[in-house]
């Protein structure tokens, strides 16, 4: 039976943007930490006396590989208890306790439709896991369109990897929406000024049954995307899947 809680140690930390860091943790155990690309873990962090106030969830950003190393991509929230802890106190060797991976935000075993993956900021984490999983395991799939939104060009996460994946997977399209950037950079992928919504509204304007939308991020973006897809564009509820960060 899989363990309920795992003990891990931080083995690597890097900056991914001015406000986002990547953290790698390793679980020293013969038991494999099993997870599906897209799932998250809930950590018990030393940020409160009360047990339930210490718990925060983070998507696993790497693809399953049996290494017992998990990667997390975490954005600093000013005044946020957990993220202040991660950014100010966590260092190589810090122990992190987390519950076994959970959540239903993972792709079906058989991918039979086109996929539109919509995210803002660290909401890209589960999609990075899914894309590498599809590529590494040669999982049959159709067209995939990753739509990523952030404020400025220096906030684009995993940019090099997405460019690499575009080369490895010609059926992958990548679009970036920059809401506050004055000068849009010239890129190999589509870059637009504004939010993520006009991108899928343009590319998927004609309603099709053979497409599924996967959305990840905070409630303001998800609420707007679900409302636009269903009420304005006419997509069916069953074609829309989301992971709400808060």
Ligand X SMILES: Cc1cc2nc3c(=O)[nH]c(=O)nc-3n(C[C@H](O)[C@H](O)[C@H](O)COP(=O)(O)OP(=O)(O)OC[C@H]3O[C@@H](n4cnc5c(N)ncnc54)[C@H](O)[C@@H]3O)c2cc1C
Residues near ligand X (CB under 6 A): 40, 56-59, 72-75, 77, 80-83, 103, 122, 125, 218, 243, 245-246
Closest approach of ligand X to the CB of residue 80, in Å: 2
Closest approach of ligand X to the CB of residue 219, in Å: 8
Residue among 198, 186, 136, 185 at smallest CA distance from 161 = 136
| CA–CA distance, 228 with 172 (Å, rounded to integer) | 23
Closest approach of ligand X to the CB of residue 40, in Å: 4
Closest approach of ligand X to the CB of residue 41, in Å: 9
Cβ closer to ligand X: 211 or 222?
222
Pairing of strands 114-120, 211-217: parallel
Structure tokens, 63:
């693809």
Cβ closer to ligand X: 125 or 131?
125
Name the closest residue to ligand X (Cβ). 80
Cβ closer to ligand X: 134 or 222?
222
Closest approach of ligand X to the CB of residue 210, in Å: 28
Cβ closer to ligand X: 53 or 137?
53
Closest approach of ligand X to the CB of residue 81, in Å: 4
Cβ closer to ligand X: 41 or 153?
41
Q: Where are the beta strands (DSSP E) in 101-140?
A: 114-120
CB atoms within 10 A of CB 13: 16
Sheet holding 190-193, edge to edge: 190-193, 172-178, 144-150, 114-120, 211-217, 240-244
Assign residue 64 a region: left if phi > 0, alpha if psi is -120 to 50, beta otherwise?
beta
Q: Given the structure tokens 């905070």, which residue do they identify?
A: 218
Cβ closer to ligand X: 45 or 229?
45
Pairing of strands 114-120, 144-150: parallel
């Amino acid at each position: 039976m899989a363990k309920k809680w795992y003990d891990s140690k931080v083995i690597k930390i890097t900056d991914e943007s001015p406000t986002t860091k990547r953290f790698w943790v390793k679980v020293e155990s013969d038991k494999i930490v099993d997870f599906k690309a897209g799932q998250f873990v809930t950590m018990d962090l030393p940020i409160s006396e009360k047990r339930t106030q210490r718990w925060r969830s983070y998507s696993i950003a790497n693809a399953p590989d049996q290494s017992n190393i998990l990667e997390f991509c975490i954005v600093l929230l000013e005044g946020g208890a957990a993220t202040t802890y991660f950014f100010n106190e966590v260092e190589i060797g810090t122990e992190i306790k987390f519950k076994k991976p959970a959540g239903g935000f993972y792709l079906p075993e058989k991918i039979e439709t086109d996929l539109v993956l919509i995210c803002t900021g660290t909401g890209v984490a589960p999609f990075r896991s899914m894309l590498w999983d599809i590529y590494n395991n040669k999982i049959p799939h159709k067209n995939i369109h990753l739509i990523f939104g952030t404020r400025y060009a220096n906030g684009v996460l995993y940019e090099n990897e997405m460019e690499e994946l575009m080369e490895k997977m010609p059926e992958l399209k990548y679009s970036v929406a920059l809401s506050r950037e004055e000068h849009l950079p010239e890129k190999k992928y589509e870059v637009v000024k504004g939010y993520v919504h006009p991108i899928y509204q343009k590319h998927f304007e004609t309603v099709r049954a053979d497409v599924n939308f996967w959305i990840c991020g905070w409630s303001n973006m998800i609420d707007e995307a679900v409302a636009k897809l269903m009420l304005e564009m006419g997509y069916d509820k069953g074609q829309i899947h989301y992971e709400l960060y808060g």
